[in-house]
Amino acid sequence: MTETTAAVARAALADAGEILTVQRAAYLAEAQLYGDPFIPPLVESLEQVRAALAAGDGIVLKAVLDGRLAGAVRARFNDRTCLIGRLVVPPDLQGRGIGGRLLRAVEDAASGRADAAMLFTGHLSEGNLRLYRRAGYRETHRERVAAHLTHVHMRKPLGPAGTASAGGTARTAGTAGTAGTAGA
């Protein structure tokens, strides 16, 4: 695995098409893993992505590498909890630390607004589960949502500037690639 330094910044409305393209590429492997081509990230419309970008109460970040969109992540808030979802990295760039960088960046962006971050992924998504565990997330519960899919819900306490607080672990580089979570 090679650590890649991608620039992370807030995504703009103009990024919606590229974000949707990367999202679909990233989630295709998840759809194949679960035998379900209709998972929400694959059927989300361009208008829905634009709405997420236009909503002023959430966070949408992008990673850019050599002028190319190399990943994205979204978060919204429920009281003092940051709900992270749609963490995506295109398949050819997975395993380079981009997913971990985006995860740390969204945690940092939630600084002051959230005491904890929560996310979920599918029970068969081992790369995602490894990434989240290394980043200090702990499983809270599992939710069977279909015969073929169980969501693994995870939580991480956040302290100042998005850092792990007591009960969490220190933030790590998180080099596993990710197809993303189905949440938020």
For residues 105-127, give the mean pLDDT. Answer: 95
pLDDT in tens, 121-171: 999 999 999 999 999 999 999 999 999 999 999 999 998 654 554 444 333
pLDDT averaged over every residue in the chain: 87
- For the entire predicted model, the pTM comes to 0.85
Question: pLDDT for 39-79, tens place per residue?
Answer: 999 999 999 999 999 988 899 999 999 999 999 999 999 99
Nearest to 156 by CA among 116, 129, 125: 116
**What is the side-by-side strand order in the sheet with 59-65?**
7-10, 59-65, 68-78, 81-88, 116-122, 149-157, 138-146
**Between 62 and 176, whose confidence is greater?**
62
Q: How many CB atoms lie within 10 A of CB 43?
A: 11
